[in-house]
Chain A
């Protein structure tokens, strides 16, 4: 269910002591139209909602109640979890809970996240036990050792006429194998201990999500630092790869090299680039495109010059674990680089002028689709914000590998999203921009734009490089501010693609594309598909 925007507008107007007629005049509409909006009889969005927010001196997100929306969605997800399915538990609606007990609702949402994290950990361990090659190798050694010990012991016990040399040989074998088994057992224990140490019940990704959400994906201190660094760079020459390389080589004694082949970073990961702090070499594979080189050189410069500013941000209370802080440092290093490559005011101006045309912005800023999409999400400066976008990235297996939530947009916390989303459709038409107007079961509508791209390969041997798909989502209310609404009849609700967040969270029982059964809210039995011939499996269970 959408937040009652009209009610929020009228409450805010009354709180400020402005008459309906006065506000209508300031916003450039008739009083009767404002009256219809306040009574939720007319949809409001785009430029008009911006004007109203401006006149009412509030952030647009506050008017649409998006923060509350996210909490409602999270509590709904928690209440839909099978762990709460019990006939005695009369689940309240998430909406009522958030309205009446916001603190308790928040606690439920956090607890559910922690529970999901723990469950993900358990699944990881189960996966490991099933398929970890290291574990399989250790277990193979255990069984081999036991076989040798058992066989030798049987020989010692059963063969009465064993000569002394043979006896000594099999005793030595038992001793040797037993020692080997001890080492294997120590190795196993060590491995599990190491893993346990590295894990926390709540995932570092979630902690980072919290921080980003808390700050509305906008970090003013980093934006200010970015402004200074951009000026520094431009004082040395036109912004770009050549100037950045010169600054890094002269100022920090680094070398920037490009070569073919594969190199691994300090953690053993391959990639198209990495920085070796020991040899002070920034390496790019020949396949790394200009946009990648420019962005990563900017990021290196930012991390070298402004490490303190990034560190201060990652000491935020939301990032409780070392893993989350490391992840946060990486993410905020990227944020800072983005803010340098795309200076806020100029980029916002260009984005508005080009109606958020990502292709056009790419050309202006020598950037990739993903880099531009990423920066658009961070245009959240209070009083000077762009269109609010959510961001998602998926691998071809459907797993969401990166996301910046959009308040209100029901997005699964982990795993994969609804298979009907454009982010997946884009894989069917790589390199093409796919757009889609979707409608959720609660009536909320969004514009999705997505594009699937493969990284450039270094040579023939790498021809199997996979595609990744990047998607931006914005409320249909703002869609008319973007070039992507061109030619679409946004008022034609019948043309919307009916979607959900993900099958297990989706109430559309009649969806022909359902892949997984939906979890039902507390108090109801899980809905699973029935056999062809109806059959009861429990006394009292409904047919």
Chain B
């Protein structure tokens, strides 16, 4: 059985707080700390949504997103991009690659939880 949310984030403190707030909101969570592990976990765990940091070791969040959209089995998976680089250029790349949502750090916890809930509700249809 798949998890609700896969978090791909390499900063331990941020990962810890994301894990905590999303679990408290009632979601089951799996987490990874690099881009390759994210792709492997998506194939293995079939999460309902991915929270994806952009600056990940091994493979960037943008590369992971591109692969997700290129694979027929994950094409429609909701992906929320997290980035500390809030420049317009990054937002544009995320949109072009097909990100479902784009949140810049530092964010409010409620914003993350609210967005995850909204994206999952939209996906459920």
Contact = CB atoms under 8 A, between A and B. Distances in A.
Contacts of B106: 143, 146-147, 149-151
A149 B11 CA distance: 12
Interface residues of A, number: 21
B40 interface: no
A183 interface: no
A176 B24 CA distance: 23
Top 8 A-B pairs, shortest CB-CB distance? A148-B13, A143-B84, A147-B105, A151-B17, A147-B106, A173-B13, A146-B106, A150-B106
A154 interface: yes
A176 B12 CA distance: 11
Nearest to B14: A148
Contacts of B11: 144, 147-148
Contacts of B107: 147, 150-151
Given A144-B11, A148-B13, A155-B20, 14 more contacts: A144-B84, A146-B105, A147-B14, A147-B107, A148-B17, A149-B106, A151-B18, A151-B21, A152-B13, A154-B109, A159-B24, A166-B20, A170-B20, A177-B13
B107 to A, nearest CB: 7
Contacts of A509: none
Interface string B43-86: 00000000000010000000000000000000000000000110
Per DSSP, are chain B's interface residues mostly helix, strand or loop, or mixed?
A: helix
Given A151-B18, A155-B20, A143 B13 contact: no
A510 interface: no
A186 interface: no
B84 A154 contact: no
Interface string A121-161: 00000000000000000011001101111111011001100
A148 B108 CA distance: 10
Interface of B: 11, 13-14, 16-18, 20-21, 24, 55, 84-85, 105-110
22 contacts: A139-B84, A143-B84, A144-B11, A146-B106, A147-B11, A147-B84, A147-B105, A147-B106, A148-B13, A148-B14, A148-B17, A149-B106, A150-B108, A151-B17, A152-B13, A154-B108, A154-B109, A154-B110, A169-B16, A170-B20, A173-B13, A176-B13
Contacts of B85: 140
A151 B85 CA distance: 18
Contacts of B18: 151
Contacts of A169: 16
Interface of A: 139-140, 143-144, 146-152, 154-155, 158-159, 166, 169-170, 173, 176-177
B48 to A, nearest CB: 22
Nearest to A157: B109
A149 B107 CA distance: 11
A140 B55 contact: yes
A151 B109 contact: yes
B84 A151 contact: no
Contacts of B105: 143-144, 146-147
A155 B109 contact: yes
Given A143-B105, A147-B107, A152 B84 contact: no
Contact of A144 (B14, B20, B108, B110): B14
